[in-house]
Amino acid sequence: MDEELNRYILMNESKGIVPGYPKSMVDILGNCNIAAVHGSTHKYLRGALLSIIGPAMVRDQLLTKIDHFMRSHLSNWDNQVLDIQRKTKEMTFLLSLMMVVSMESSRISDSIMPEYFKMVSGTISLPIDLPRTKYRRGCQARKALVSILREVMEERRKSQETHKDMLGVLMGNDDESRHKLSDEEIIDLLIAVMYSGYETVSATSMMAVKYLQDHPKALEELRVIFETARLATIVNGVLRKTIQDVELNGYLIPKGWKIYVFIREINYDPFLYPEPLKFNPWRWLQDQSLESKNHFLVFGRGTRLCPGKDLGIAEISTFLHYLVTRYRRGESRKGKGG
């Protein structure tokens, strides 16, 4: 594991090392998707993205919405056996839909949710365009999702009402909007928000519940989130491709090659994290500089550093807060969940 080399790869997009995610993902998430663009297009799309999910937005608007959502979403979980994986997935999807289109979310959630899940599953599939393949289904689901979002946009244009949500900001009927985007760009940004914040937040929430079950004393949410993301390695690695010949550590990497920065191996390095397989959220407290170290790649680094970091942390912390303050866990008959 070469810390400096990883850093170099993630910091040098301008030298021809750009994101290299698979074809199925790029096709389904759209041509204007943030992971498919680089250079000046990436810069302005990222600016627009930060205006809807960045730290200022989290502080001024989203935190209240997340709190309100979690209070009501976690209000009837008592006396049932819960499949925490299914619950956290559903919760993360509904929460992001509510932040994207507040007013319309309850009306469209039933029609959009099955399409959304098909779309997600299509992004991690072989790009074989035949009937009933995951890829074909994913492409069809994207079309359905796009048409639902387009309809909402048209209704909003007709009604000329102001909406204080992510779509409202991007459509420019809000004072905060500085970004003039095409409808395609708006739709792909919203899909990026729902997609990138989905598996990451739901898996971290689920694994945090599991680790907290074994370590009930570890209830300092921020450290729990970092430690969960590290130990469960929520993001296994990030993919890049070279768009020109690049030299790395004296080796020539030809144009068109893929580079995988393997985060899991770094997360389990015993020199960086003593006893790496142990859930120890206190390690983040003992060494407070751990988060700013070069090897901390849980949220990526450089030009692609996760713009949803604060939002993700706010969502997971609020979820954990309401879960542990409202519920006591009991064993189900099968000895699991409950």
Closest approach of Cβ 307 to ligand HEM, in Å? Answer: 5
Q: Outline where the chain has alpha helix (H).
A: 3-11, 23-29, 39-53, 55-57, 63-73, 84-100, 105-123, 134-159, 166-171, 183-196, 199-214, 221-231, 263-267, 283-286, 309-326
Contact map string, positions 223 to 252, toward ligand HEM, x by CB under 6 A: ------x----xx--x--------------
CB count within 10 Å of CB 217 equals 8
Closest approach of Cβ 6 to ligand HEM, in Å? Answer: 11
Give the whole-angstrom CA distance, residue 147 versus residue 137. Answer: 15
Site residues for ligand HEM, window 7-36 (CB under 6 A)?
19, 34-35
Q: Outline where 246-308 has alpha helix (H).
A: 263-267, 283-286
Applying CB under 6 A, what is the total number of residues that bind ligand HEM? 26
Give the whole-angstrom CA distance, residue 306 versus residue 93. Answer: 18
Site residues for ligand HEM, window 58-77 (CB under 6 A)?
none
* Residue 306 marked ligand-binding: yes
Return the residue matching tokens 């996760």: 306
- The interface region with ligand HEM, picked from 153-161, 197-205, 267-275, 320-328 by CB under 6 A, is 197-205
- The interface region with ligand HEM, picked from 57-65, 126-134, 189-197, 327-335 by CB under 6 A, is 189-197
Which residues make beta-bridge pairs with 253? Answer: 246
Instruction: Find the binder of ligand HEM among 306, 321, 329, 338 (CB under 6 A).
Output: 306
Which residues make beta-bridge pairs with 261? Answer: 238
In the complex with ligand HEM, the residue whose CB is nearer, 137 or 187, is 187
Annotated binding site for heme: 306
Going by the annotation, the residues of the binding site are 306
Binding residues vs ligand HEM (CB under 6 A): 19, 34-35, 46, 49, 53, 192-193, 196-197, 200-201, 204, 229, 234-235, 238, 298-300, 304, 306-308, 311-312
